[in-house]
Structure 1
Amino acid sequence: MALPPDFTLLQVVPELETGGAEQTTIDVARAVIAAGGRALVATRGGRMTARLESDGARLAQMPVQSKNPLVMLGNAARLTDLIRTEKVSLVHARSRAPAFAALWAARTTDTPFVATYHGVYKAQSSLKRWYNAVMTRGDLVIANSDYTRAHVLAEHRVDPDKVVSIPRGVDLDRFNPSWVTPDRVAALREAWGIAARDGRTRFLLAGRLTRIKGHLTIIAAAAQMKAQGREDFLILFAGDDQGRSDYLDELRGAIAAAGLDDQVRIVGHCDDMPAAYLLADVAILPTTVPESFGRAAVEPQAMGRPVIASNHGGTTETVVDGLTGWLVAPEQPDAWAAAMTSAIELGPGRRAEMGQTGMNRTRQLYRVDAMCAATLAAYEQVLQARGLSGSSSGIDA
């Protein structure tokens, strides 16, 4: 299959700070450019902008993160102008608020519209269900896991042929333990205050400092482990509070109250996650609500690290209990303490075997190039249905 030789993609995402949707935006933009197309991203901006532009994509900065109806209306007008000026071939929305403006602009210009369901959105009212359903009103819905696809079909009256599952991919060039130099790991160890002689088993929870990531569950589990006489572990929380200072203060208070200042550290945002996973012995993902995919469970496996994850959502597809890690009941400190203790007592050799199994499986199932190829094929499917597909001389999907 082929995309038109003059193919121009416009992706719309709230911001480019951090996260799976943001990384996938950059991955797909890079793939389109590598195939000879043009890639635009409408977004508020953020720390990942430099990476996007270094790949050759163009930023169209606008307040698409806003849920203010008047701002959204203005965004629709701005996107309409952008689509016409840049001769955009297809619009791809990656979040609900921007999707309203993007869908309006796409319909105004008769441009194909695709949306990715990146999360399992809760709907406790008909109004919220209507709001969430904006992601299903275009030509095609991309679900980032089979779990997410099942949710979309159960939640919305959508033709199953209109919903395709494309698991997120991992950049296996970036997340490759062979390519991470020792000085990168040493730099993080120094920055995080970990002595070279510190032989404790290190657990890494990577993700935004938000309640649903389950930090409080881990603090409670750590308190139980310490009460049992264990002090042979170190837990690292790596992530931004993104302005959630109250939650950050709550975490610090809980750590101090449990007497865990030497066992649990909040290390802040990390730009070098491959090195962070190598510095850790085990990755943990104790989410309190189901994640649609959970890149933080796949990236450490690509780096050869076993994972302990909550037994719900997309992680039930990416972590194989007892083989590449452990699946644990969410919000159950007893269960998490037991799983973390098991990981410690397994020892470095057995953990390495488990990590190798996870690495092999990740390289088979979650390659970023496979995700990008499937996404470009989905674009071609939409263009064909609209009678807009290119000839074989176009961009290979």
Structure 2
Amino acid sequence: MKIMQLLPELNSGGVERGTLEIARALVADGHESLVVSNGGRLVAQLEAEGSQHLTLAIHKKSLSSLWQIRPLRKLIEQHQPDIVHVRSRVPAWLTHFALKGIPAHKRPHLISTVHGFYSTNRYSAIMTQAEKVIAVSDSVVQYITEHYQNCPPEDIVRIYRGISPQEFPHGYQPSAQWINQTFKDFPQLENKFLVCLPGRITRLKGHETLIELMQQLQSQYPNLHAVVVGGADPKKAAYLQEMQDTIQSKGLRDKITFVGHRSDIREWLAFSDVVLSLSNQAETFGRTTLEALSVGTPVIGWNRGGVAEILSHVYPQGLIEVDDQSALLNAVKHHIDPPQEIKPVTMFSLKEMCDQTIDLYKQVLSLD
């Protein structure tokens, strides 16, 4: 098979990672893998793993992107993929128009993946107008079914995102060198019970809830410390400052540490005693929740979206009612003493995700 995946850019994020993982699996399985994007820092890895990258400016949400329809059509005609797999709205629209100009009998099959709870409008509906629509969780299946009635339920295929148990092995511990360096950089973390909130610095991730939690627990548990793992975009600098000011005014400066953007997230998840998932909107999947549970760190999270699906299968005792601050407080206390054990995670594997996606490609082609 020859598969062409389209996404805006190849820098970082779940969509990007999923694209690379499927590309790698296709190559390993003896198929041809093409990826079209505006480029980015993951291109080198993609190419090193045997895929071909085709650079096209399909990343801008602006009318100027319409200039890319013809070049995209040329690429499709030149490479003649069996399947075009779109993973984002701008590329999906451009593909829609590009395919219109190709005779029906020469068009590739079209598959999309709905990675997000997109705003419900004509612009987003394009993601549900493919032969098969992959949803990354049951929550996304439900979302499509409720908001996009034009998408036949039998065309929606739920394929969970997956992670590699080799990359996030059960019981994983950071190296002594890593721990020493971390205590050198952040001496305030030594001999503490660490509560970790991973994720970018945005209003969505629940930092205010964390600050409130630490304020309520600090007198009772003096050795409790919170770590925020995630960077702030320059556009979010004002929000970061606002949080730092709140922390200062509540006297929590020595109780909450921001470690910034990190590439060693596995180490931080394994090093922490509890990981929190407090996003104030449902997440479509909740990869970090899964990564933490995979290495054996308990996760406490709101009962909604993909995070709730993962927790209900793997660690139901970590589920708490949405926005119930006292339930959150009690759950954290319950995890401090005694520490909770996590069983090895047996579902949501990367191999399952890749196998199911490649099977779907084959199934679509077998209909010819």
**TM-score normalized with structure 1 length:** 0.84
CA contact (8 A) 1:218 1:333 kept: no
**2: CA distance, partners of 1:100 / 1:273:** 34
* Aligned match of 1:115: 112
Which string of whole-angstrom CA distances, capped at 9 and with x for unpartnered residues, describes residues 76-105 of structure 1? 223222222222221111122222112322
What are the equivalent positions in structure 2 for 1:1-397 lying under 5 Å apart?
A: 7-71=1-65, 73-109=66-102, 110-123=107-120, 129-157=121-149, 158-177=151-170, 182-183=175-176, 185-186=178-179, 189-190=182-183, 192-194=185-187, 198-226=190-218, 228-243=219-234, 244-320=236-312, 323=315, 325-347=317-339, 351=340, 353=341, 355=342, 357=343, 360=344, 362=345, 364-385=346-367, 387=368
Which string of whole-angstrom CA distances, capped at 9 and with x for unpartnered residues, describes residues 57-89 of structure 1? 233233322110222x12322322222222222
**1: CA distance, partners of 2:183 / 2:80:** 49
The one-letter code of the counterpart of 2:351 is: D
Q: How has the CA–CA distance of structure 1 residues 280 and 384 changed in structure 2, closer, same or farther, with 3 Å as cutoff?
A: same
CA contact (8 A) 1:33 1:57 kept: yes
CA contact (8 A) 2:269 2:292 kept: yes
Displacement of 1:161: 1.0
How many equivalent residue pairs?
Answer: 362
CA contact (8 A) 1:106 1:113 kept: no
Identity of aligned residues (%): 29
CA contact (8 A) 2:277 2:302 kept: yes
**2: CA distance, partners of 1:377 / 1:211:** 39
Which string of whole-angstrom CA distances, capped at 9 and with x for unpartnered residues, describes residues 289-337 of structure 1? 1111111111111111110111111122100399454112334443323
**1: CA distance, partners of 2:306 / 2:13:** 15
Q: How has the CA–CA distance of structure 1 residues 18 and 258 changed in structure 2, closer, same or farther, with 3 Å as cutoff?
A: farther
Segment of structure 1 superposing worse, 338-347 or 162-171 = 338-347
* Aligned match of 1:392: none
Displacement of 1:165: 0.3
**1: CA distance, partners of 2:336 / 2:276:** 13
> Residue 319 of structure 1 aligns to a residue in which SS?
helix
Displacement of 1:44: 3.0
Q: How has the CA–CA distance of structure 1 residues 77 and 190 changed in structure 2, closer, same or farther, with 3 Å as cutoff?
A: farther
CA contact (8 A) 1:309 1:328 kept: yes
Displacement of 1:171: 1.5
Displacement of 1:14: 2.2
Which string of whole-angstrom CA distances, capped at 9 and with x for unpartnered residues, describes residues 120-167 of structure 1? 1233xxxxx211110011111000011111111111122111000001
**2: CA distance, partners of 1:96 / 1:74:** 16
**TM-score normalized with structure 2 length:** 0.91
Which string of whole-angstrom CA distances, capped at 9 and with x for unpartnered residues, describes residues 153-195 of structure 1? 1111221110000011112221125676514642662475146
Q: How has the CA–CA distance of structure 1 residues 295 and 11 changed in structure 2, closer, same or farther, with 3 Å as cutoff?
A: same
More contact order relative to length (CA 8 Å, sep ≥ 6): 1
Q: How has the CA–CA distance of structure 1 residues 242 and 55 changed in structure 2, closer, same or farther, with 3 Å as cutoff?
A: farther
> Residue 314 of structure 1 aligns to a residue in which SS?
helix
Point out where structure 1 has 5 or more consecutive residues left out of the alignment. 1-6, 124-128, 388-397
**2: CA distance, partners of 1:327 / 1:234:** 21
> Residue 39 of structure 1 aligns to a residue in which SS?
strand
Q: How has the CA–CA distance of structure 1 residues 212 and 82 changed in structure 2, closer, same or farther, with 3 Å as cutoff?
A: same
The one-letter code of the counterpart of 1:366 is: F
**1: CA distance, partners of 2:332 / 2:171:** 27
Moved >6 Å (runs of 4+): none
**2: CA distance, partners of 1:322 / 1:372:** 21
Q: How has the CA–CA distance of structure 1 residues 118 and 200 changed in structure 2, closer, same or farther, with 3 Å as cutoff?
A: same
Point out where structure 2 has 5 or more consecutive residues left out of the alignment. none
**2: CA distance, partners of 1:190 / 1:254:** 25
Displacement of 1:12: 1.5
The one-letter code of the counterpart of 2:364 is: V
CA contact (8 A) 1:192 1:267 kept: no
* Aligned match of 1:393: none
